[in-house]
């Protein structure tokens, strides 16, 4: 199965009830082996970074078996708002 940025975005949005997601396929020829992801979700409220990343990794457990590089930035809606200023 070829993993696409759109597939990752839809799955994270559904599973984490994300309010904002950016997914960039950084692999050569956009073949779905490397991604940079920014996720904004209220589910991250009160959780340290490691727990946030574990939530994302659990959501994409099967897909991460085929992805060689996965960089994630996890923010609460409040943190996202502050970054937009």
Listed by start position, the domains of the chain span 5-76
Residue from 45, 32, 39, 51 nearest 15 by CA: 39
On the 0-12 / 13-18 / 19+ scale of CB atoms within 10 A, 61 is: exposed
Across the range 29-52, mean pLDDT stands at 93
Question: What percent of the chain has pLDDT above 90?
Answer: 82
Q: What percent of the chain has pLDDT over 70?
A: 99
Average of per-residue pLDDT across 50-73: 95
What integer is the mean pLDDT of 14-20?
96
Dist CA 34 CA 48 (whole Å): 24
The domain made up of 5-76 has a fold known as: GMP Synthetase; Chain A, domain 3 (3.30.300)
DSSP for residue 15: H
Burial of 18 (0-12, 13-18, 19+ CB in 10 A): buried
């Amino acid at each position: 199965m070829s993993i696409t940025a759109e597939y990752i975005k839809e799955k994270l949005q559904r599973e984490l009830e994300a309010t904002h997601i950016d997914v960039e396929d950084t692999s050569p020829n956009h073949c779905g082996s490397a991604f940079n992801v920014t996720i904004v979700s209220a589910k991250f409220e009160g959780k340290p970074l490691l727990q946030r990343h574990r939530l994302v990794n659990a959501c994409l457990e099967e897909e991460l078996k085929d992805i060689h590089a996965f960089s994630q930035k996890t923010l609460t809606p409040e943190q996202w708002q502050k970054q937009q200023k």
